[in-house]
Amino acid sequence: MVHGIWDKGRVYRRMAQFLTEQGHHCHYPDLEPANAAHGLADLAEKLKIYINQTIGPDAPFALIGFSMGTVISRYYLQRLGGAPRVSHFFSISGPLRGTLTAHFWPGKASRDMRFRSKLLQTLNDDTSALEPTTIHSYRTPFDLLIIPARSSHWEIADDNHVVLSLFHHGMLTHPKVHEHIAATLQEQNQNS
């Protein structure tokens, strides 16, 4: 579970509790610096190290990214070779094509999340690395951080869900998101 800008992994505590009760083992690291001062690729490298040390270098798993964490996760999947290990990627309120709000924040992280940023163009120009991974995308039309909210809609996703959460972080606690992730993982376990 990969958190967003200025967050800690604990933003996932309610989702992790729900998924743990369903029999899943959840990891939600604190990626530092939380403001991504060195850019999103830097945090993706740190995510890869955490995954290899905690889950192991070969074990398969599902990946959940929220907000900036979706782009960090995509970099890990597409540029750092993570996709073959990841059965499902759940993208929650991510600036997949950028966000207007990033144009008002200083720093490398915001430059990486702006419309037509070099990093986003690289990820969006070639998504072939994601072919082995099933992708689920969630967005709320009321998002005030991902503007336009449609930037969280992913054309290559196996499914896109519109969730009527009244605010950005509410997506992490919304029952519809929790239940869909749990049902998807349960179905995968039954088919394995």
* Average per-residue pLDDT for the chain: 96
Sign of the torsion angle spanned by Cα atoms 171, 94, 161, 64: negative
| Nearest one of 170, 1, 169, 156 to 72, comparing CA atoms | 1
Q: Kindly state the average pLDDT of the residues 59-70.
A: 97
Burial of 180 (0-12, 13-18, 19+ CB in 10 A): middle
pLDDT at 192: 62
Of 65 and 188, which is predicted with more confidence?
65
DSSP assignment of 107-119 equals SHHHHHTSTT-HH
Closest CA to 76 of 57, 59, 63: 63
- The alpha carbon of 155 is separated from its chain's Cα centroid by a whole number of angstroms, namely 16
Residues 20-39: tens digit of each pLDDT: 999 999 999 999 999 999 99
5-25 confidence digits (pLDDT tens): 999 999 999 999 999 999 999
Nearest of 133, 137, 144 to residue 170 by alpha carbon: 144
Q: Express each pLDDT in 155-192 by its tens digit.
A: 999 999 999 999 999 999 999 999 999 999 998 777 76
Would you state the pLDDT for residue 124? 98
Mean pLDDT confidence for 100-118:
95
pLDDT at 188: 79
pLDDT of residue 189: 74
